[in-house]
Amino acid sequence: MAKVLCVLYDDPVDGYPPPYALDAVPTIDRYPGGQTTPTPERVDFQPGELLGSVSGELGLRRFLEGGGHTFVVTSDKEGPDSTFDGELADAEIVISQPFWPAYLTAERIAKAPKLKLAITAGIGSDHVDLEAAIERGITVAEVTYSNSISVSEHVVMMILSLVRNYIPSYGWVVKGGWNIADCVSRSYDLEGMQVGTVASGRIGSAVLRRLKPFDVGLHYTDRHRLPEEVERELGVTFHPDAESMVPVCDVVTINAPLHPETEHMFNDALIARMKRGAYIVNTARGKICDRDAIVRALESGQLAGYAGDVWYPQPAPPEHPWRSMPHHGMTPHISGSSLSAQARYAAGTREILECWFDDRPIREEYLIVDRGHLAGAGAHAYSVSREGEASEAPASDHA
Catalytic residue IDs: 147, 285, 314, 333
Is residue 283 within 8 Å of residue 254, measured between CB atoms?
A: yes
Q: How far apart are CA 259 and CA 377, in angstroms?
A: 14
Any bridge partners for residue 44, and if so which? none
DSSP-derived pairing of the beta strands 303-308 and 251-254: unpaired
Question: Measured between alpha carbons, how far is 148 from 87 in angstroms, rounded to an integer?
Answer: 31
Contacts of 179 (CB under 8 A, 6+ apart): 172
CA distance 378 to 91: 23
Which amino acid is present at 220?
Answer: Y
- Interatomic CA distance for residues 54 and 13, integer angstroms: 12
For 292, the 3-state DSSP assignment is: helix
Tell me which residue of 13, 14, 55 sits closest to 342, measured CA to CA: 55
What CA–CA distances, in Å, run from 312 to 54, 135, 383?
Answer: 22, 26, 20
What is the DSSP code string of 208-270? HHHHGGG--EEEEE-SSPPPHHHHHHHTEEEESSHHHHGGG-SEEEE-PPPSTTTTT-BSHHH
Total count of residues recorded for the chain? 399
CA–CA gap between residue 109 and residue 136 (Å, rounded)? 8
Give the span between the Cα atoms of 102 and 121, in whole angstroms: 11
DSSP 115: -
Q: Classify residue 60 by burial, with Cβ atoms within 10 Å: 0-12, 13-18, 19+.
A: buried
Q: Are 307 and 298 in contact (CB under 8 A)?
A: no
Report how far Cα 263 is from the mean position of its chain's Cα atoms: 15
